[in-house]
Amino acid sequence: MSKVKADDLVRVHYTGKLSDGQVFDSSVNREPLEVKLGQGSLIPGFEKGLIDMQPNEKKTIVIAKEEAYGEKRKELFQSVKKSDLPEDLKVEVDMALMATNADGSEKQLRVAEIKEDEIVVDANHPLAGEDLTFELELVEIK
How does pLDDT run across 8-25, given as a tens digit for each residue?
Answer: 999 999 999 999 999 999
Indicate whether this model's pTM tops 0.75. Answer: yes
Confidence tier at 100 by pLDDT (50, 70, 90) = confident
Section 1-6 average pLDDT: 88
Looking at residue 87, its pLDDT comes to 85
108 alpha-carbon distance from chain centroid: 12
Q: How far apart are the first and last CA of the chain?
A: 13
> ∠ CA(53), CA(55), CA(57), 5° rounding?
60
pLDDT of the residue at 119: 93
Question: How far is the C-alpha of 9 from the C-alpha of 101, rounded, in Å?
Answer: 33
Per-residue pLDDT averaged across 106-120, rounded? 92
- pLDDT digit string (tens) for 55-94? 999 999 999 999 999 999 999 999 999 888 888 888 899 9
For residue range 32-59, what is the model confidence (pLDDT) as tens digits? 999 999 998 999 999 999 999 999 999 9
